[in-house]
Amino acid sequence: MKLCRAEYRTIAKFTDQLRPTRQCMKMLKDRFPNHSQSTLLSIFSLEYQKRMKRSLVRHHAPDVIEDYYQRYRSEAKKRPSDPVLLELANEVDLSPSLMARLLVERFLEEQQGSVSSKQVLNSMLREPSLIPDMQLAKHVEQCTINDCCYGPLVDCIKHAIGQEHEEILREKLRERNLSFLDENHLRAKGYDKTPDIILEVPIAVEGHIVHWIESKASFGDEQSHRTYLNDQFWSYWNRFGPGLVIYWYGFIAELDCQRDRGILLKDCFPSDIITLCHRLGES
């Protein structure tokens, strides 16, 4: 689904009032019923991450962390069965998973007298039962399962969705009998930075030559697309020639402005593919 910039900004502005909870998706879907839930979730995730990055320094101040920790301890003692850590995260407008990380790190520092390694911290966030405090472990788990933008559960889901869409892309290419090399083949050949697909026989899509295809299981907003252009797409173009990027959950229509320079954007697998060898043979 392609959205004009103005429509994207309308959705983005609406997300300012939302928290990363399950209820937020219902509110988004009710407000924008013509858009898929996957597109809305991707847009919300992008905007929420921008919001968190803007405020992260404030939340990481030592005195602020100490205040959060003492407030959590006090409330957990008064209301041991309530989701007090999740409530605290929502109150101060911090991702529940990020709040859990801050407080588990502070708890371990208190227990051990020193800062724990990232490996230990990450393992406890992935598996809260490893936290040597059953109440804190329960509250961390509540934060993880109620956060749709951050945390180990979200990371696993995003990875699985990314893999799923790469397989969908490969299956579409096989259906069209198009020969290609995927990332595994390319790494075996010694390439370190590659698109998801290199076509062994180039194709034409809407009159544009395509040598490679990149799959993005997300919405393409201005900031993420600019980052991808600088970090990935132009390097692919330099090495392999013009290519196609598929944003499966849509993108801002105005971003599809690099076609003449060799970067084509689509929100689905193209239906009007012409293999160049056939086209040349017919001409």
Query: Are residue 96 and residue 186 in the same domain, yes or no?
Result: no
Half-sphere exposure of 57 (CA within 13 A, CB side): 1
Q: Which residues of 129-155 are buried (b: 16+ CB within 10 A; e: fewer)?
A: eebeeeebbbbbbbbbebbbbbbbbbe
118-156 residue pLDDT tens: 899 999 999 999 999 999 999 999 999 999 899 999 999
Does residue 257 belong to any structural domain of this protein? yes
282 pLDDT more than 80: no
Query: Are residue 131 and residue 218 in the same domain, yes or no?
Result: no
CA dist list (Å): 52 to 10, 99, 131: 19, 11, 25
Both tokens of residue 223?
């900031």
Helix, strand, coil percent values for the chain (each to nearest 5): 60, 15, 25
E strands, the chain, in order: 2-3, 180-182, 197-205, 208-216, 243-247, 251-252, 263-266, 273-275
Query: Are residue 201 and residue 270 in the same domain, yes or no?
Result: yes
Please, are residues 182 and 170 in contact by the beta-carbon 8 Å criterion?
yes
Does residue 283 belong to any structural domain of this protein? no
- Given pLDDT bands bounded at 50, 70 and 90, which one contains residue 24? confident
**Whole-model pTM?**
0.89
Please tell me what DSSP assigns to residue 247. E
Query: Are residue 107 and residue 206 in the same domain, yes or no?
Result: no
Query: Are residue 128 and residue 171 in the same domain, yes or no?
Result: no
- Could you list the residue range(s) of the whole structural domain that residue 169 is in? 162-275
92-113 residue pLDDT tens: 999 999 999 999 999 999 988 7
Query: Are residue 120 and residue 226 in the same domain, yes or no?
Result: no
